[in-house]
Amino acid sequence: MTHSKSMATGDVIASSTAAIGGLGLRVAYKKDFNLTESESQQLMACVCYGFEQSCHVGDAVDIEVEIEQLGDNNYKELWYSNSPVQTGKSGSISYRYNDDVLFGCWRPAVATSNLRSETDKAYKELREFLSTSSHPYLLRAWNYMPLINEEEEGLERYRQFCLGRHDALLRDGEHMEAGLPAASALGSGGRGLVMYFISTRLPGTSVENPRQVSAYRYPEQYGPKSPSFSRAMLAGDSAKSDLFISGTASIKGHETRHAGDVKAQLEETVTNINALIKQGDCGPKEIAGLSLLKIYLRRASDYSQIHELMTEIAPNVPTLYLRADICREDLLLEIEGLYLSSN
């Protein structure tokens, strides 16, 4: 975890903690820490990126993602509620929730090697769970899978993942484009699919990028079924909304731009994020006004250059850098972001 200019003293990046308007959440990146009794009661989830970190923190939903942190590392991503939360489990889904928002993780007892069937199982179980939940609206999903660019049964594994997700999200024979969440899908070093999510009591609003073809309308050259996600989602009311930005890359229309040039890909990606921020129209004017960023790099050797560039682009935004494979082999980086209206 790095802050583009100044670091807070101690093991907390102070400016990475903020309330999410209307949803009763806070998020923070921390290293070593001790929770107060109140914090323990309000902790919803702990996400660990790495290979040796323990993610077990009280009763929180613990999520381990086996991808390397770059730069200043060993941070945990903690999601809190502003009020005490309750704990639940349904099949392979563990979750914590308050009145407005639910944070959950799908974790099978045994991982399977067939990514399409595992994804179909995960999203069908999630859909069934949400259909009876008091928080039925899927707002944000994160997906991590091993060997994302390798071939499986004659098709790239990312495309197998898209098939499984698409089939599971069909409703009455139709794909529900308006209800698709913001999402990220990255390659990991783990043994199987890791999927965690946020759902809400009230529906969010999808945001698309005028510079890009919507992912769910990609032509067949990218696979038999298009990726099932929105470019971003707004949550909250008209007076105070928060923006959840999906994993975003150097794509214009539906085509990759600047293959092999990580600096140019960064610039194109930032342009796309700025376009989404403008469409969301919820507070910030550009990427430098966001509350949090997460940057995935295909090549760890690009970290120093990208970190230096981001110091100029978004100097005050807490940013986590991770080494991960991207959904297209010609993409060298992907960025996801979050704007917290109460920050």
List, for residues 74-90, the tens digit of each pLDDT value.
Answer: 889 999 888 889 999 99
The b-or-e profile of 56-86 (16+ CB within 10 A means b, else e) is: ebeebbbbbbbbbbbbebebbbbbbbeeebe
What is the reported pTM?
0.92
Half-sphere exposure of 324 (CA within 13 A, CB side): 30
| Residue 334 annotated as catalytic | yes
Q: Which CATH class is domain 2-339?
A: alpha beta
Name the β-bridge partners of 240: 237
Contacts 24+ apart (CB under 8 A), 134-137: 134/97, 134/201, 135/97, 135/100, 135/101, 135/102, 135/199, 135/200, 135/201, 136/199, 136/201, 137/179, 137/199, 137/200, 137/201, 137/202, 137/203, 137/204
Res. 17: pLDDT tops 90: no
Least confident segment among 40-54, 63-77, 122-136, 157-171:
40-54
Res. 257: pLDDT tops 60: yes
d(CA 63, CA 41): 18
Res. 177: pLDDT tops 90: no
Q: How confident is the model at residue 58 (pLDDT cuts 50, 70, 90)?
A: confident
Catalytic residue among 77, 268, 334, 336: 334
